[in-house]
Amino acid sequence: MNEVDENAVEAALALVAAAGDGEHEIIALTLGPDVAADAVRRALQMGADRGIRITDDALAGADYFGTATALAAAIRRIGDVDVVLTGMAALDGLGAVVPSLLAAALDLPQLTVVQELTYSGGALTARRELDGVTETLRATLPAVVAVTDLANTPRFPKFKDIMAARAKEIEVLSAADLGLTDAASTARTEVVRAEPRPPRPEPEIVTDSGAGGRALADYLISNNLI
């Protein structure tokens, strides 16, 4: 499980605890091969009630659109939901577009890059900081919410929670179960090139003998930093 997805699970647990009516459940949903079951199991250990894993050879290598389409189909199959919580971005691709595509597919309002989330009066209130500006947003339910790693501190499952998670259900669904066609799994995007981040250069230590300021200015200018 992506670390930021644990923040999404924690946010869901907080919302259910705040509701305090015992009428809500948390369903962990993912798309992926057998190894993806570990992510669902982690959510169950944290406190989710049940899990769903979508897996199908036809969906292998699904791009952002295919992933959002499959997840949306599974959510529709679940039925009425109050909140769809996701991490802000997957750590492998860092596209951060699946939450928005998911909201569009479900025709739901969306709150993204959320750093603080509360519920009151049938609506969600979110706080986020973008480009030095603090924004407060409000969305009626149901809604899609993408949280950042600043939203909360995910709990660490206790031994009894880990053991209890073994008895919780993980339903496995195929593309056919979701009524997905070949067109739904056809990639619309292509990764043209991926390059590793260049290594950091060795630091340059300048002994200030009276010209340290000039040396610093020359360095900044030569690296187009000023």
Locate the domains of the chain by residue range: 3-185
Across the range 197-221, mean pLDDT stands at 81
Q: What is the pLDDT of residue 220?
A: 85
Crossing angle of helices 3-19 and 37-46, rounded to 10°:
40
pLDDT digits (tens, 9 = 90+) for 143-183: 999 999 999 999 999 999 999 999 998 999 999 999 988 76
pLDDT at residue 184 greater than cutoff 70: no
CATH, range 3-185: 3.40.50.620
Q: What is the pLDDT of residues 29-52, one digit of tens each?
A: 999 999 999 999 999 999 999 999
Please report which confidence band the pLDDT of residue 209 belongs to, taking 50, 70 and 90 as the band edges: confident
| Cα–Cα–Cα angle for 14, 19, 21, rounded to 5 degrees | 130
pLDDT, greater one: 63 or 107: 107
pLDDT score of 121: 84
Residues 54-70 have a mean pLDDT of 88
Residue-averaged pLDDT of the chain: 89
What number of helices (H) and strands (E) belong to the chain? 7, 9
For residue 175 the two structure tokens come to: 């593309």
Rounded to whole angstroms, the Cα distance separating 184 from 105 reads 12
